[in-house]
Chain A
Amino acid sequence: MAHRDGYTAFVSSGLGKKLATTLGLPQPVALRRQVPGRPLVDGPVLVGGHGDLPAVAALRDALTGAGATLVDEVPDTGRLGGVLVDLTAADGPADLESLRATLAPALKRLGRCARVVVIGRDPALAGSPAQHAARRALEGITRSVAKELRAGATANLVLVADGSEAAALGTVEFLLSARSAYVDAQVFRVGKGVAGAAPGDRPLDGKVAVVTGAARGIGAEIARALARDGATVVCVDVPSAGAALAAVANEIGGTALQADVTSPEAGPRILGHARTRHGGLDVVVYNAGITRDKLLANTDADRWASVLDVNLGSILRMNEAFLGRDGLRQGGHVVLVSSIAGIAGNRGQSNYAASKAGVIGLVDAYSADKALQRRGITVNAVAPGFIETEMTARIPFATRELGRRLNSLSQGGLPVDVAETIAYFASDAQSTVSGNVVRVCGQSLLGA
C-alpha cells in the first residue's frame, strides 16, 4: 500500500526540512520496515544494565547468531542501531542509575530508526516494595525515553520471568527488528517457559492460519505477512468482498472463504475448511470489524448491536468451534484486533469502543483459561492507533492530520505495521507470550 502521507515526504526534502526546523513543526522520517535480507538491526547494539545482566547473558549468543553486533561501550565512531538495557537484577530505585548511565551517552549516538529495548521483571511478582517500585519505574522511564527519541527511533519494555530470560528472544528480536517500526512505548510480558526457538525467516512454516476480514486494508496485509512467514492462509471475508478476497488469496497462495462472521455457521465452516483442505488450524486472527459511528445520544439499537455483534459477539461464537476440542491444534495462537478507541475511548464511537474494549476483556479471560494454557494456546491482541487505510483516508483533512501527528513518530502507521505485530504473536517462538495487548500506535498521545 502506498504511503499517502505527503507531509512526511515534504519534510524529508531539503526545503521542507528547513521550513519544519524553522517553524518547529514535527519532523517524521520514513520508518525502517522489513524487507527480505535486511539485517536484524542497522548498526551495533549497546548492551548494559544492572548487576550481572541475566537477560543479556541468556540472549547474547542467540542475538549474535541472528546477526546483531552487541557492544559493551558506545563505539568512538558511527551510529548505534540500538540499546539493550537489562534491569532484571534491579532491587530498588538506586539500581535504576545503571539504566541512566547506559542510556545517557547512547541516546545522542542513535542512528535512524534505532531501537531502545529495556528488559525488566513483572512488578506484580516483586519481593519487596522497593523492588516493586524499581520494576514499575521502568515503564515510566521507557515511555519518557520514547517521547525523547527522534528520527523514527522507538523504546519498548520487555518483562521476563525469573529463569525464563531466554524465552524473550523472539520478543527482543522483534523489537530490535524493522518489523516493530510503529510499536513504541509498549510493555511486553513474556511468561515462564523454555527458551523460544529462534524465529528465523519462515517461523510459520507448516502452519495453517485463518484471517477474518482479509479482503482489504489491514486484514489483507495480515494475510500477506503470515503467508510470507510460511503459513498457509485461509482468507475470510463477507461474500460481497469476494473479488478482492480472491485476489488476496491468489496473491499469497492461500484459499478464499466467503463467509459472514456473524452467521452461526461461520465457526464450523471455517474450521471445517481449514481441517479438510489444510489438515488443521494453528492460528486465528480476528480482524473483521465494522464501525457505525454516531454520538451515543444518536445511536440507535441497530447501530449499537451490529457493531457489537460483528466485532465481539462473532468472536465468542466462532471460538466455540476454534477453541473446542477439535479446534486449534496444540500450541495454537489466537490474535485479536482491539483498537486505541477501546483503550482511550473516542467521541462518536461508543459502540465501537465497547466492542474493542471487550476484545481486551476476551484476551484477559482466554489467556487466564487453564484448559487453554494446558493446550499451549496463546491469546493476545494488537490495538492499532492511526493506521493509513481506506478508512482513515476518508477522515476529513484536519482531523486526519491531527490523528497522524499526535504520536511520538509524528506519522500514521501502515497496515503492515499491525500485520507484523500479529505475525510476531502468531509464531511458536512466542509460546510463552500470552495475555498481551500491544498498541501499534507510534506512542499515540490518546489513552496513553
Chain B
Amino acid sequence: MTSTRRAAVLGGNRIPFARQFGAYAEASNQDMLTAALEGLIARHGLAGERLGEVVAGAVIKHSRDFNLTREAVLGSSLSPTTPAYDITQACGTGLEAAILVANKIALGQIESGIAGGADSASDAPVVVPEKLRRKLLRMNRAKSSTDKAMAALAFRPTDLGIQVPANTEPRTGLSMGDHMAITAQRWGITREDQDALALASHHNLAAAYDRGFFDDLLTPYLGLTRDSNLRADSTLEKLASLKPVFGKGEGATMTAGNSTPLTDGASAVLLGSQEGAAAHGLKPLAWLVDGETAAVDYVTGDEGLLMAPAYAVPRLLARNGLSLQDFDFYEIHEAFAATVLSTLAAWQDQEFCHDRLGLEAPLGAIDRSRLNVNGSSLAAGHPFAATGGRIVATLATMLHEKGPGSRGLISICAAGGQGVVAILEAA
C-alpha cells in the first residue's frame, strides 16, 4: 500500500453527559457506549451493517470489561460481524481512537468505522486493599479444608476496606487538579480569566442547544436531554463566590466552577472514506487531516502534567505547513479553565516557544472568539474517554456549517503527561 486517501468524519452521536451519581448512576460503561452507538446507528441508518471496525475505550474500567467495545457492538444494532477493539490513552482515548480509525481508512484497510469512548465516574470498579486481595487469592488456591482454614485465619479486621479509583497520578501522588494548580501558578493564570472562560463555556453550550445545534449530534438517554452540568444562567458573580479547591493559600484560583466535574457519558463518531460515505448515502462533514501525540516529563517537574498539547500542536502545524492563526475554530479541551489559558499563554511566550519548542518566534495568540464556540468540557462535563468523540463530531459539524475551506484545531490533554491533537478541514 503506497498511496493514501482522505478519511472523513461522517457524523457523530453522544448521550447527554451526566454529573457523577446523577442520571446515569446505575449505567455501566457498556450501557452508555451501547446507547451512544445505537443513536449513531439510527441517525445514519446503519442497522444490520458490517463496518470496518469499532474502536473505543474507557479510562476507568472494570476487569469484566476486557472486551468493552466488542460487547457494546454485540449489544447494538450493527451486524455482529463488525470487529471491535478497546484502546485507552486517558482523556485522549476518544480522539486517539478517531485518529486510528481514520488512519486505517486512509490506508485503504477499511471503508468505514466508528471511534468512541465511554466513562462512568459513578459505576466505578471497586478494588479491595492489596493485602486483602492477596489473602483472598491464597484462600481461593487452597485445596484441602485444612489449607482453607489456615488461609482464613490469616484475615485481619484491618484488611477490610475498599479502594475507589482516584483521580491521582501514580508517580506523583498529586491529583490532576493539584498538578494543574502548579502549572496555573507558573503561567500566572488569574481567577478572573478562569471564571470568564468557564462562563463562556456554559453560555456557548446553552446557546448551541437552544439553536438546535445538537439535534444531529446527541440522543437523549435515561431521561436526560441536555448535559446535567450545564448552567445556562451562570454568572461571573456566582462563579466568583466559589471557594478554591485546588492549590494552596493566597494563590489558589481553581474552583469547582472553573474545573470540570466528574462525569458519566459516552460518545461515538462515524468515519469513512469518500466511497464508504457514498455507500451509505452520507456526505462527509469534514476531513480528519492529521493527528499528533506528545508527552512531557511531569514526574520530575520539568513540565506541567497537562501541557503536552502545547508541544504536540507546533509539531502538527509544522508538518502541515500551517500557522496557529490558520484556523476558523479552536477546540481546546477544558480539563480546567487554567489548562486552556496556560496552553494559550505558553504559545505566546517567547522563551517557552524558543527554549521548549525550538521555534524562532512564538506561535502567537489566537482569536478568542473562535475558541470553543459551542461550549466545551467545563459546561458539558468530561467523561474522560467520551470527550474526544464529543469534540470531533462537534467540530466537524461546525466546519460543515461554515463551509468548504474552513479548518479547525483540536487539542486534548491527558493524564500521564500526554496530549493528543488533530486538524479537521471542512469537506
Contact = CB atoms under 8 A, between A and B. Distances in A.
Same complex for A and B? Answer yes
Interface of A: 232, 235, 239-243, 245-247, 249-260, 263, 276-279
A254 B46 CA distance: 8
23 contacts: A235-B42, A239-B212, A239-B215, A240-B220, A240-B225, A241-B220, A246-B219, A249-B42, A249-B47, A250-B42, A250-B77, A251-B77, A253-B45, A254-B45, A255-B42, A256-B43, A258-B216, A258-B219, A259-B215, A263-B212, A276-B283, A277-B280, A277-B282
A322 B35 CA distance: 32
A contact face: mostly helix, strand, loop, or mixed: helix
B337 interface: no
A243 B77 contact: no
B48 A243 contact: no
Given A243-B220, A247-B38, 7 more contacts: A241-B220, A243-B222, A250-B47, A255-B42, A255-B43, A258-B216, A263-B212
B219 A250 contact: no
Interface in B14-55: 35, 38-39, 41-45, 47-48
B281 A246 contact: no
B42 A239 contact: no
A249 B46 CA distance: 10
Contact of B47 (A242, A253, A258, A278): A253
Given A239-B225, A240-B220, A256 B42 contact: yes
Given A250-B77, A279-B281, A242 B45 contact: no
A242 B220 contact: yes
Contacts of B41: 246, 250
A258 B212 CA distance: 10
B286 to A, nearest CB: 16
A249 B41 CA distance: 9
Contact of B38 (A246, A254, A278): A246
B396 to A, nearest CB: 16
A264 to B, nearest CB: 11
B42 A246 contact: yes
Contacts of A258: 215-216, 219
Contacts of B280: 277
B182 interface: no
Interface of B: 35, 38-39, 41-45, 47-48, 77, 212, 214-216, 218-222, 225, 280-283
Nearest to A241: B220
B42 A278 contact: no
B138 to A, nearest CB: 47
Contact of B221 (A243, A254, A255, A256): A243
Q: Which of A250, A260, A263, A279 has its CB near the most chain B CB atoms (within 10 A)?
A: A250
Q: Which of A242, A245, A249, A263 has its CB near the most chain B CB atoms (within 10 A)?
A: A242
Contact of B39 (A242, A254, A260): A242
Q: Which of B38, B48, B215, B216 has its CB near the most chain A CB atoms (within 10 A)?
A: B215
Which 10 A-B residue pairs are closest in the complex by CB-CB distance?
Answer: A246-B42, A256-B42, A250-B77, A249-B42, A255-B45, A277-B281, A242-B219, A250-B47, A253-B47, A240-B225
B219 A278 contact: no
Contacts of B212: 239, 260, 263
A277 B281 CA distance: 4
Nearest to B39: A246
Nearest to B217: A258
A136 B345 CA distance: 86
Contact of A242 (B44, B48, B218, B283): B218
A276 B277 CA distance: 11
Contacts of A256: 39, 42-43, 219
B283 to A, nearest CB: 6
A239 B211 CA distance: 12
A277 B219 contact: no
A223 to B, nearest CB: 12
B2 to A, nearest CB: 33
A403 to B, nearest CB: 30
A245 B281 contact: no
B225 A253 contact: no
Q: Which of B42, B48, B225, B280 has its CB near the most chain A CB atoms (within 10 A)?
A: B42
B366 to A, nearest CB: 32
A242 B225 CA distance: 9
A278 B220 contact: no
A162 to B, nearest CB: 45
A250 B35 CA distance: 12
A281 B221 CA distance: 30
Nearest to B35: A243
A390 B321 CA distance: 59
Nearest to A248: B42
Nearest to B48: A253
Nearest to B49: A253
Nearest to A277: B281
Nearest to B225: A240
Nearest to B13: A246
A270 to B, nearest CB: 12
A278 B282 CA distance: 9
B34 to A, nearest CB: 11
A279 B33 CA distance: 31
A284 B216 CA distance: 21
Given A250-B47, A250-B77, A279-B281, A245 B215 contact: no
Contacts of B221: 243
A436 B38 CA distance: 38
A263 B211 CA distance: 11
A256 B38 CA distance: 10
Contacts of A255: 42-45
Contact of A277 (B38, B45, B77, B218): B45
A348 B283 CA distance: 47
B281 to A, nearest CB: 4
Nearest to A247: B38
A252 to B, nearest CB: 8
A97 to B, nearest CB: 57
Contacts of A250: 38, 41-42, 47, 77
A259 B216 CA distance: 9
A232 B47 CA distance: 12
